[in-house]
């Protein structure tokens, strides 16, 4: 059955792929994005350009932290709820940048989420999905991380803002009966990925013969997850669940040095690496227990790191004229 969804942050890395999957399935998507300059906006413009010609896609440029701008989206038609679900993927992301400018993270991730939750309550939208992060698990939990692990020791304002958003979502579930899904994402990468994230930066710098900046010694590891796997899991989590937090991860931990070596081999080049001290907001490893996603959603990651990196390098080659000129930021992760 065709449904109507609101997807926030639709020009973003994950949200653009979620929007694509919903449209391909025959649904209508109202996409919103403020197209902020957290990273080079040309990449957001590129993603949005892939969506704008699609049938049943409607785009509005607005900031979810602006309540007066959000409210008109929720006008009901014929007394029915305006959306089958709200998929809130709009967020200010980036661990390190949040240390220097925490206020913008609070506005986007907390105030924006609250605005959407309250509009769902007022308009009768029963399903709400909030994207969250593996950064919540910090340094003190055993790996692989389970959803019931302690998340009360955030290491950055970004992480704290996502923890606050999760708490707001639970309160709206408890008080107003909203059906809430909260996928926690683990190090997402893939074609058209964010230029402040490690995989894109590594591909770009190795391809163009530039030095790579690595914080730490390169042995830190991540549960890299291909963007299409993340998008599939997000769409699957739109089913009725009550209130659930669900890890979506690659189910295989890989070191940064291994990622660099694989990218270098795919490009046929030798990487130049500049090592810098580890940042105190970074964690040495992240690893997801995805058994809950398998049980509740029938989901498991399908794209291997080798295949995902190959597709990412292919995208870079196909879009090199634009991709090689994008502004990078080695302070983010």
Where residue 51 sits, what CATH number does that domain have?
Answer: 3.40.50.720
Question: Is 321 a residue whose pLDDT tops 70?
Answer: yes
Average pLDDT over residues 185-195: 96
Q: Decide if 331 is inside a domain.
A: no
Q: What are the residue numbers of the active site? A: 158
Q: Decide if 195 is inside a domain.
A: yes
Distances (CA, A) of 53 to 24, 76, 175, 281, 315: 13, 26, 40, 40, 20
Question: Is 298 a residue whose pLDDT tops 90?
Answer: yes
Question: Is 279 a residue whose pLDDT tops 80?
Answer: no
Q: Decide if 178 is inside a domain.
A: yes
Per-chain mean pLDDT for the chain: 94
SS3 content of the chain, % helix, strand, coil (to 5): 40, 20, 40
Can you give the pTM of this predicted structure?
0.95
Average pLDDT over residues 314-329: 94
Question: Is 333 a residue whose pLDDT tops 80?
Answer: no
Q: What is the pLDDT of residues 154-181, one digit of tens each?
A: 989 999 999 999 999 999 999 999 999 9
Average pLDDT over residues 295-309: 98
Q: What is the pLDDT of residues 76-120, one digit of tens each?
A: 767 789 999 999 999 987 777 888 889 999 999 999 999 999 999
Q: What is the pLDDT of residues 54-79, one digit of tens each?
A: 999 999 999 999 999 999 999 976 77
- The share of the chain scoring above pLDDT 90, in percent, equals 83
Q: Decide if 134 is inside a domain.
A: yes
Q: Decide if 226 is inside a domain.
A: yes
Q: Decide if 329 is inside a domain.
A: no
- Coil vs helix vs strand at 244: strand
pLDDT at 77: 67
The domain tally of the chain equals 1
- Which two three-digit tokens encode residue 189? 């990468």
User: pLDDT band for position 301 (50/70/90)?
Assistant: very high
CA 181-37-157 angle, 5° bins:
55
What is the bridge-based pairing of β-strands 243-248 and 179-185? parallel
Q: Decide if 332 is inside a domain.
A: no
Q: What is the pLDDT of residues 220-256, one digit of tens each?
A: 889 999 999 999 999 999 999 999 999 999 988 999 9
Enumerate residues 6+ apart whose C-beta is below 8 A from 310.
266
What is the bridge-based pairing of β-strands 221-222 and 254-255? antiparallel
Question: Is 281 a residue whose pLDDT tops 80?
Answer: no
Domain of 177, in residue numbers: 4-323
The position carrying tokens 């398998």 is: 294
pLDDT at 97: 80
Enumerate residues 6+ apart whose C-beta is below 8 A from 170.
180, 243
- The share of the chain scoring above pLDDT 70, in percent, equals 98
Q: Decide if 328 is inside a domain.
A: no
Cα–Cα dist 222/246, whole Å: 18
Enumerate residues 6+ apart whose C-beta is below 8 A from 113.
64, 88, 130, 165, 168, 169
Question: Is 270 a residue whose pLDDT tops 60?
Answer: yes
């Amino acid at each position: 059955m065709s449904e109507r969804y609101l997807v926030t942050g639709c020009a973003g890395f994950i949200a653009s792929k979620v929007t694509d999957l919903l449209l391909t399935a025959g649904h209508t998507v109202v996409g919103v994005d403020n197209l902020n300059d957290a990273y080079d906006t040309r990449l957001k413009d590129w993603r949005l350009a892939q969506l704008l010609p699609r049938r049943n896609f409607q785009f509005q440029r607005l900031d979810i932290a602006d309540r007066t701008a959000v409210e008109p989206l929720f006008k009901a038609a014929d007394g029915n709820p305006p959306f089958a679900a709200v998929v809130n993927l709009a967020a200010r992301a980036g661990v390190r940048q949040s240390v220097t400018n925490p206020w913008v993270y609070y506005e986007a991730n907390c105030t924006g989420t609250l605005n959407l939750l309250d509009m769902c309550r007022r308009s009768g939208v029963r399903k709400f999905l909030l994207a969250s992060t593996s950064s919540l698990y910090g340094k003190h939990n055993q790996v692989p991380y389970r959803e019931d692990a302690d998340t009360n020791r955030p290491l950055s304002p970004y992480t704290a803002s996502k923890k606050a958003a999760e708490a707001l979502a639970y309160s709206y579930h408890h008080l107003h009966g909203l059906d809430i899904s909260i996928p926690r994402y683990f190090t997402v990468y893939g074609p058209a990925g964010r230029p402040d994230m490690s995989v894109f930066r590594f591909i770009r710098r190795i391809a163009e013969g530039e030095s790579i900046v690595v914080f730490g010694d390169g042995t830190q590891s991540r549960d890299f997850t291909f963007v299409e796997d993340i998008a599939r899991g997000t769409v699957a989590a739109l089913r009725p669940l009550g209130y659930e937090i669900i890890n979506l991860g690659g189910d295989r931990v890989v070191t940064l040095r291994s990622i660099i070596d694989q990218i270098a081999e795919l490009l046929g080049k030798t990487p130049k690496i500049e090592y810098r001290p580890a940042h105190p907001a970074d964690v040495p490893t992240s690893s997801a227990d995805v058994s809950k996603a398998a049980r509740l959603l029938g989901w498991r990651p399908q794209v291997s790191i080798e295949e995902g990196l190959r597709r990412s390098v292919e995208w870079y080659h196909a879009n090199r004229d634009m991709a090689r000129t994008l502004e990078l930021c080695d302070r983010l992760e």
